[in-house]
Structure 1
Amino acid sequence: MNRIKEVLEEKGIKQIWLAEKLGKSYNMVNAYVQNRQQPRLEILMNIAEILDIDVKELIISNKKQK
């Protein structure tokens, strides 16, 4: 699972803008945002670079918080 949707909302960025920057279709980015499809690590790294954040901010941990 990813946090792309939350990060976009926090930054006030539209999916269409991200799609243009990534060189992907809006439908593909929307699938990432809705967690219907997970981006490859390379794409996740590109998204993090475009959004100027650490890639770890885009991923939901599979470990429970202590």
Structure 2
Amino acid sequence: MEINRIKAVLAESGKKNKWLSAKMRLNEATVSKWCTNASQPSLKTLKEIAKVLGVDIRELLNQTKN
């Protein structure tokens, strides 16, 4: 189950994993794991990602209900 939409939001904004890892000063492998949903960032980190991408934090999460 895909929990986050980080990869999709990056694509929508024309950005790559490498760009996000550089902006947040994180290892590229960490960001890659988030983008493949192999692991999840903490809520604090998710908030930072939203700020860097200029989106509402809710845009980074998949809905649990339709």
What interval of TM-score do these two structures reach, taking the shorter chain for normalisation? Answer: over 0.9
Q: Would you say 1:6 and 2:8 are equivalent positions? A: yes
Percent of residue pairs identical: 39
Please identify runs of 4+ aligned residues in structure 1 that moved more than 4 A: none
SS at structure 2 position matched to 1:21: helix
| Residues paired across the two proteins, number | 64
Name 2:63's counterpart in structure 1.
61
1:1-66 alignment runs, 5 A limit: 1-63=3-65, 65=66
Which amino acid letter does the alignment assign opposite residue 16 of structure 1?
A: K
Q: TM-score, normalised by structure 1?
A: 0.93
Q: Runs of 5+ in structure 2 lacking a partner?
A: none
* Mapped partners of 1:14, 1:56: distance in 2: 20
The two structures have a TM-score, normalised by structure 2, of 0.93
**C-alpha separation in 2, matches of 1:6 and 1:17:** 14
Q: Provide structure 1 residue ranges, at least 5 long, that are not aligned to the other structure.
A: none
